[in-house]
Amino acid sequence: MKQKKDIIDEKKGIDKGFIIGFIVSFIICAFIAGIVIIQEIYGLNRNFNDNLNIILCDAFSISGLLLCLFYILCYVSDEGAFDIIAYSIQLVWVMTFHRNVRETKLPKTYTEYRQLKREKPRLNLKFILLSGSLFLLVGIVFLILYNMNLK
């Protein structure tokens, strides 16, 4: 079983799926940035020409930070932080609606459940972190430009 997992780990480079995922997450990040820009212009009544740096700083940094935090949530979930919650909900469901727990596909113990989850291949989601980091970096650049204009 270790050999199969090693093969999967070696394949986690940049491939077609990574590029497509990066493009999709980049578009999602741009969409969030657009929503933030619209909200700042129409919701906060900021003049686009006078507050250009701060509007762009908010838009890029908020969207980038949201995607980076989403990546962290996915990473923690892949490492098994929420496995006990998922197993307990499945166990309660099985005990409520089935006569015998042993007749279901649910593992007998949490340890077996965790082992089965560890054996499943994991997706390479670093494209989410990469696109979020790019937007966050652009937001920081706009923040620096805004602070240089104040002085």
What's residue 124's pLDDT?
Answer: 83
pLDDT digits (tens, 9 = 90+) for 68-122: 999 999 999 888 888 888 888 888 888 888 777 667 778 888 888 888 888 888 8
What's residue 12's pLDDT?
Answer: 58
The DSSP symbol for 101 reads G
CA torsion through residues 46, 48, 50, 51, sign: positive
pLDDT digits (tens, 9 = 90+) for 39-70: 988 888 777 777 788 899 999 999 999 999 99
